[in-house]
Amino acid sequence: MRVVARNKKSLSGYVGSVAPRQLSMLEREKEESNKWTPTWAGDDSGEIYEVEKHPTKVTVDLGNQKCTCRFWQLTGLPCRHACAALALGGRRPEDQIHNWLGMATYNSAYQHNINPVPSKEFWDKAEGYPPLPPHYKTPIGRPTKKRRKEKNKARPNSNPHKLKRRYEQSFANTVERVATIAC
């Protein structure tokens, strides 16, 4: 709740059509657009451009706000290719953002007040039965073992000539036996 109030207060005096975080992302894309060369594709409406930076070529449709890199469709902000095409047409990328990235939408999201919730001790007592846990259904198949063997309580080896699964301890015992026999 404090975050909502802080955001509402910090951006109450902000002047601009694009929210600050989106504006900084758009500025980065505009800087990168200087490296790309747009070319009009020759359509009648003048909305389709081919933008290239050797060896990469992408197609930008300004009328439908689409680019083959799909950044514009996914974020709502014009990508670097669209910024290059918009600059060639003499248009501003700030005017081409999606409406939910504008300050009008941002301010409408924060126009409502959220009342604080009191702590648990001040909650009203509910009438009726308390809520029950969900019904547990036993799964099909053999249940898993919940017991684990401890190292110290392992079963003693019934056959002294058979090696144990843990080789370190049995190998050490075998070496001791061989050493005592050789002496």
What separation in angstroms does the CA of 4 have from each of 8, 17, 79, 105, 110?
6, 20, 29, 15, 7
- Position 33 scores a pLDDT of 92
Q: pLDDT of 36-89, one tens digit each?
A: 999 998 888 889 999 999 899 999 999 999 999 999 999 999 999 999 999 998
Q: How many domains does the chain have?
A: 1
CB 84 within 8 A of CB 38: yes
Which of 60-64, 100-104, 114-118, 136-140 has maximum average pLDDT?
60-64
Domain boundaries, position 52: 19-109
Q: Would residue 119 count as lying in a domain?
A: no
Q: Would residue 3 count as lying in a domain?
A: no
Q: Annotate 95-123 with DSSP letters as a single string.
A: GGS-GGGBHHHHHHHTSS--PPPPPGGGS
Helix H or strand E encompassing 83: helix 80-89
